């Protein structure tokens, strides 16, 4: 069964303190791995798509990487406005209409 | 601005009543989806539709119904048969039916049933 596990559940950082969020997955043929940011009371906002092991994508202070079993979202020198819940989702080749989501990592960046 | 509009933002209903959540998109996307989000859980797929007048059940379709009469609209009805309807409901769309593009989400409807 396709499955996504994110860790840690919550992460508290000081402003400027870099760290990484983990997304471990099992899927029957990875079609795509997606990262989203979700603010309280809002819908998820798309950040990145990764398709194959070794791929990397960057956007401002965020960098997403992918291996055959997991993805990392690296946050460099975070600011308080980076505080949000970060969601990971995978899409398998068997049924590409289904996106399987992890439960997210809630990031809190203190000034 | 193109996007997905969900309404209302908050909805309160008494147990035993059916309720319909609205989802409209002006992105010209083919596929539309309904997800449910509960605290501490990942988003779970309720229904999805790839084209007008066609839709498929997701992983937790029991107690829900949908229609897709127009490309832009994909309303979700939460029926009285849904045992735990209180949740945050998210509508999403993707640009094509082949599933090669990411999901884009609306800002959700929070449903409370008492």
Query: Is A78 strand, coil or helix?
Result: coil
Query: Containing H/E element for A24?
Result: strand A19-26
pLDDT of residue A98: 86
Asked whether the predicted pLDDT for residue A20 surpasses 80, the reply is yes
Query: Containing H/E element for B45?
Result: strand B44-51
Interface test with A, best of B11, B25, B42, B105 (most A CBs within 10 A): B42
From first to last of its 114 residues, what are the pLDDT tens digits of chain B?
679 999 999 999 999 999 999 999 999 999 999 999 998 888 999 999 999 999 999 999 999 999 999 999 999 999 999 999 999 999 999 987 676 789 999 999 999 999
d(CA B40, CA B43): 10
Q: Do B45 and A99 touch (CB under 8 A)?
A: yes
Q: Which residues of A touch B102 (CB under 8 A)?
A: 32, 34, 46, 49
Tell me what the mean pLDDT of segment A52-63 comes to: 96
pLDDT-based confidence at A103, cuts 50/70/90? very high
Query: Containing H/E element for B89?
Result: strand B87-94
Q: Is B98 on the interface with A (CB under 8 A)?
A: yes
pLDDT of residue B10: 96
- Cα maximum dimension of chain A: 44
pLDDT of residue B96: 74
Q: Do A49 and B48 touch (CB under 8 A)?
A: no
First to last CA, chain B: 36
Residue of B57, A109, B73 whose CA lies nearest to B65: B57
CB-nearest to B107 from A43, A49, A96 is A43
Give the burial string for B1-17 (b: 16+ CB within 10 Å, else e). Answer: eeebebeeeebebeeee
User: How close does chain B come to A34, measured CA to CA in Å?
Assistant: 7
């Amino acid at each position: 069964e396709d499955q996504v596990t994110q860790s840690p559940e919550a992460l508290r950082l000081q402003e400027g303190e870099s760290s990484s969020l983990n997304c471990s997955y099992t899927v029957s043929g990875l079609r795509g791995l997606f990262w989203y940011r979700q603010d309280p009371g809002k819908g998820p906002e798309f950040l990145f798509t990764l398709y194959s092991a070794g791929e990397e994508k960057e956007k401002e202070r965020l960098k997403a990487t992918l291996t055959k079993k997991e993805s990392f979202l690296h946050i460099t020198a975070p600011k308080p406005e980076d505080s949000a819940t970060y969601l990971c989702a995978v899409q398998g080749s068997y049924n590409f209409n289904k996106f399987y989501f992890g439960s997210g990592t809630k990031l809190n960046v203190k000034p | 601005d193109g996007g997905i509009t969900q309404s209302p933002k908050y909805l309160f209903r008494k147990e035993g009543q059916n309720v319909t959540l609205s989802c409209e998109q002006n992105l010209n996307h083919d596929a539309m989806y309904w997800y449910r989000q509960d605290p501490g859980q990942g988003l779970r797929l309720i229904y999805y539709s790839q084209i007008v007048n066609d839709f498929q059940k997701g992983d937790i379709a029991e107690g829900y119904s949908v229609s897709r009469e127009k490309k832009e609209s994909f309303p979700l009805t939460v029926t009285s048969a849904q045992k735990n309807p209180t949740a945050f409901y998210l509508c999403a769309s993707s640009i094509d039916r082949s599933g090669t593009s990411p999901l884009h989400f609306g800002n959700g409807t929070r449903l409370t049933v008492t």
